[in-house]
Structure 1
Amino acid sequence: MLGEQAEPREASGKGEGSVRLTAELLEQLLASASPEQYLARANLEERPLAEYAEAVREAHGLKKSQVIRASGLNPTFCYQIFEGARRPGRDSAIMLAFGLGCSLVEAQRLLRLAGASELWSRNRRDAIIIFCLEHGMDRAQTDDELWRLGEKTLIDGGA
C-alpha cells in the first residue's frame, strides 16, 4: 500500500537504517492539537536532492557505478547530481530513480526534490512509467514499453 512505503531517514543520530513510515507521520499529525505542534516536532525539512539520492542508494546497497549503469545517464552528469552540483530534468530524474531501484513513493519524492512534476496516472506516458516502476522493471525495460506503446523513451529525453 502506498501510504505504508518507507522512505530512507537521514543518518543524523536517529539511528542509521531506521525508517519513518508515511502512515506514522499522518497518525502524528492527526493526533496533534494544532498544525504548529506537529510541525515543531516532526522535522519535515526537505533534504537536498543529492542527500536524498545518496540515502536511497545506501539503503538499497548500491554502488554509484551500479546506479549510473542502470540509469543510462551520462556518468559525469550523474556524479554531479550526487555532488549537488547539477539538478536533473524530469526524464533524467526518472532515469535516476530507475537506476536507484526506487519504489513509486521514492521516485515521486526524488522528482519533487529535483523540482520536477510527479508522475501522474492520468498522463499516458506517466502511467506506463508508473506501471513499470510498480512491476520492478528496469530503465531499459521501461524504455521498451514506452517505445512499444508509441511514447517517447526516457533515454531520448533524459541524457
Structure 2
Amino acid sequence: MAKMKLSESTFTLIPEGVTTFKVMEVDDSKYDDFGKLIVKLQTAKGEKHNEQFTLTKNNGELNEGALKAWSYFARTCLNNFSADEIDTQDIVGCYIMATVKHEKYTATKGERAGQEMTSVRLNDYNTASGFGEFVNMTDGVDELDELENEDDLDSFLDD
C-alpha cells in the first residue's frame, strides 16, 4: 500500500448569516450570446462566491425577474437607487452586504445526479462602504477598502 500526500482542500461554504462582500469582477462575456452575468464576490476572509443573473430566457425573451434582481443588486452596490443605466464594470470594487443562506437540493444532472447538495443563496442586499467589522478586528487597518483587485486582497490576507 502506498502513502500519498493529498492536496489541501480549501473549499468551504460561506457560513450562514450577514456577510459583507467586495465585487471583484463582473464577467459579462456570456451576456450577448446567453444573457448571463456572473458577479464574482469575495469576503474579507477570502471566501469567494459567484452571483449569476440570467437576463434572457431560453426562448430569447427578457427575464423580468432576473432583470429586477440584477437592477436591485447593481443599485445597492452603487448606493444609487435612481440609476437608470450602468456599465456592468461600474460595480467592480463596490461592497455589498447580504444574508447568506444554505439551500439543500438534489442534483439532477452530471456526475453527482441524485446526490444531495448544498448551495449558497444571497438575500436581503444592503449597501456597504467596506468590510466594516473585519477592519475593526485588524487593529485599525483600513487598507482593505483601498485594495484594487483580488491579488491585492489575497496578499493582504496572507500578511
Structure with the bigger percentage of helix: 1
TM over 0.5, yes or no? no
Q: Which has the larger radius of gyration?
A: 2
TM-score interval, smaller chain: under 0.3
Q: Provide the TM-score with structure 2 as the length reference.
A: 0.26
